[in-house]
């Protein structure tokens, strides 16, 4: 197939486009979903080739073909580059689309379906990043970024804006090749940027400030802002601007990049919504401060990508010439990158959702069938018996005095007021001091018990223990060691009690509640001491 000249449509395609049925492919599994439709991993029945089938959503179209699909097909037919996804062909299903019950789908009773056939890629960048324990090396990040910028530079030279650069649209195969995908929001542009374009493009976390402020005349700089967000995300390990809505997104940008004005962005005050989103106080630029742990050359490149003024933002071509890509460690060869099990954002989201559902089911079962002492810390039978005996004594006494620690409660703080809404929170501070039987060391510990009801449905008790003072047997207790101990504490330290049956209930700092707080504080402190071999059960 001949390669199209920049800005021209390649008409030298196979005459078979659209003439084959989707029945030539066997769908294996769904790997993506969006407003456009679904994406499936599929196998061509004759050749066995693995491809990706992107179903074009037709159920909302009363007549005709979706304009976004027309644009995507037209653009992909003229783009041929090793870092841009390849559209292989278009296939159709001649009959009406059916739902899961085998009935014609609503809004598509007399229509068939149209599928775009793409080369299959093993991963997308988001799915790969979300793998447990995944951390990209610097040569790997440089390799991915260089390929991203190379593909984007090719698009911009051919006067195409992608307008939806994000991790799930950057596909990677097991040969280490990265390709730009999902051109559903892509658009051709003129070099003078005089045409009005919609500003309702680019996923919110990667949307540049000019679009959030209402600009309708823009160019390749909008894609470069998204690339900067991806770059920082790869280095930082998580999204850097995760706003929930447009005002919050702008505020996050201002907090990181400073407030735009006529000095750092000439003409910004003329953008339609500038005054609507003007912050109450000016903010200074903090990119270097927030990402001070980045490599110097990486930080220089990021600064130029996240420039507020789009006219001063670095281009893809200039970014490829940045010092970052020419200093050690150099970008690695794609073929040398490790091979991973297939990872797509859709699949990782689905797995996380299933895991959350399983955890919620397990929690509900535990609440319905409580077993207070089934998760005691690992210890000998004698220690377990002593522990149960101590708890029994504690429940009968006004203030618990477990046998493994001679101590007393010195002060108990007054409750704090309820939080907003039906939920209420009270806080009790307990100061404990005593002598351990084993070492004879004096221990002073402070525990803060926070008692709250959520939605008036149940009472939750959480006890935070500050590091005890006076441990004189070489045990250093800091907050890091406390965090390491927490997963091994038994579940009865955190069990809800009591569980009121009526709504609108708020906890009161009654004697019973204070007593419960003290009991649980004792449990945690004694377990902490046992972990560091200062006391014994």
Report d(CA 507, CA 423) in Å as an integer: 9
Report d(CA 434, CA 58) in Å as an integer: 74
- For the annotated catalytic residues, the residue numbers are 164
Cβ-Cβ contacts under 8 Å for 448 (sequence gap 6 or more):
427, 428, 429, 430, 463, 464, 466
The residues that bridge with 110 in the sheet, in sequence order, are none
3-state SS track over 190-208 = CCCCCCCCCCCCCCHHHCC
Which DSSP string corresponds to 219-240? -THHHHHHHHHHHHHHHHSS-S
CA-to-CA separations, 513 to 53, 124, 502, in angstroms, rounded: 60, 51, 18
Report d(CA 287, CA 254) in Å as an integer: 11
> In a 3-state reduction of DSSP, which class is residue 115?
strand
Nearest to 91 by CA among 154, 44, 47: 44
Q: For the chain, first and last CA: distance in Å?
A: 79
Nearest to 447 by CA among 498, 412, 419, 407: 412
What is the DSSP pairing of strand 87-93 with strand 20-21?
Answer: parallel
Q: Given strand 50-56, what is the order of strands in its sheet?
A: 20-21, 87-93, 113-119, 50-56, 37-44, 25-34
Report d(CA 59, CA 320) in Å as an integer: 42
Cβ-Cβ contacts under 8 Å for 161 (sequence gap 6 or more):
155, 186, 187, 188, 189, 197, 219, 220, 222, 223
| Burial degree of 30 (CB within 10 A; 0-12, 13-18, 19+) | middle
> In a 3-state reduction of DSSP, which class is residue 360?
helix
Sign of CA dihedral 298, 300, 304, 307: positive
Is 74 annotated for ligand binding? no
What is the DSSP pairing of strand 424-436 with strand 405-412?
Answer: antiparallel
Cβ-Cβ contacts under 8 Å for 420 (sequence gap 6 or more):
none
Give the phi and the psi of residue 182 in degrees, each rounded to 5.
Answer: 55, 80
Residues in the annotated binding site for ATP: 54
Residues in the annotated binding site: 54
């Amino acid at each position: 197939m001949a390669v199209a000249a920049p800005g021209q449509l390649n008409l030298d395609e196979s005459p078979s486009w659209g003439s084959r049925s989707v029945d030539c492919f066997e769908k294996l599994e769904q790997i993506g979903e969006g407003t456009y439709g679904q994406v499936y991993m599929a196998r061509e029945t004759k050749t066995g080739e693995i491809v990706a089938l992107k179903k074009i959503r037709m159920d909302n179209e009363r007549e005709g073909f979706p304009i976004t699909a027309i644009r995507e097909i037209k653009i992909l037919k003229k783009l041929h580059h090793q870092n841009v996804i390849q559209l292989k062909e278009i296939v159709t299903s001649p009959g009406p689309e059916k739902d899961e019950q085998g009935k014609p789908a609503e809004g598509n009773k007399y229509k068939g379906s149209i599928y775009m056939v793409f080369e299959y890629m093993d991963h997308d960048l988001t799915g790969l990043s979300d793998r447990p324990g995944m951390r990209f090396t610097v040569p790997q990040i440089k390799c991915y970024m260089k390929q991203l910028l190379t593909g984007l530079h090719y698009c911009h030279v051919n006067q195409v804006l992608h307008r939806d650069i994000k991790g799930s649209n950057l596909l990677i195969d097991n040969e280490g090749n990265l390709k730009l995908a999902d051109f559903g929001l892509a658009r051709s542009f003129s070099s003078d940027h005089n045409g009005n374009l919609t500003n309702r493009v680019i996923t919110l976390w990667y949307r540049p400030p000019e679009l959030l402020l209402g600009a309708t005349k823009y160019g390749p700089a909008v894609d470069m802002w998204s690339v900067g967000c991806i770059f920082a995300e790869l280095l930082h390990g998580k999204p850097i601007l995760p706003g929930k809505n447009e005002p919050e997104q702008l505020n996050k940008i201002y907090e990181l990049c400073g407030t735009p004005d006529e000095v750092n962005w000439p003409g910004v005050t003329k953008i339609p919504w500038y005054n609507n989103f003007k912050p109450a106080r000016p903010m200074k630029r903090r990119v270097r401060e927030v990402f001070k742990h980045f490599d110097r050359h990486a930080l220089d490149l990021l600064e130029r990508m996240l420039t507020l003024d789009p006219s001063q933002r670095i281009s893809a071509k200039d970014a490829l010439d940045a010092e970052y890509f020419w200093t050690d460690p150099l970008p690695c060869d794609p073929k040398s990158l490790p091979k991973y099990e297939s990872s797509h954002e859709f699949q990782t989201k689905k797995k996380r959702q299933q895991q959350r559902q399983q955890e919620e089911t397990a929690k509900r079962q535990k609440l319905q069938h409580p077993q207070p002492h089934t998760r005691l810390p690992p210890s000998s039978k004698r220690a377990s018996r002593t522990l149960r005996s101590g708890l029994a004594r504690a429940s009968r006494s006004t203030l618990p005095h477990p046998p493994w620690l001679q101590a007393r409660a010195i002060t108990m703080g007054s409750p704090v007021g309820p939080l907003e809404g039906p939920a209420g929170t009270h806080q009790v501070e307990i100061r404990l001091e005593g002598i351990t039987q084993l070492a004879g060391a004096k221990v002073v510990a402070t525990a803060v018990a926070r008692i709250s009801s959520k939605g008036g449905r149940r009472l939750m008790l959480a006890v935070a223990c500050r590091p005890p003072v006076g441990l004189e047997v070489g045990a250093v207790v800091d907050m890091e060691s406390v965090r390491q101990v927490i997963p091994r504490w038994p579940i009865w330290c955190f069990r809800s009690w009591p569980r009121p049956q009526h709504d609108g209930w708020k906890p009161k700092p009654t004697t019973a509640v204070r007593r419960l707080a003290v009991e649980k504080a004792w449990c945690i402190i004694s377990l902490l001491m046992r972990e560091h071999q200062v006391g014994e059960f």
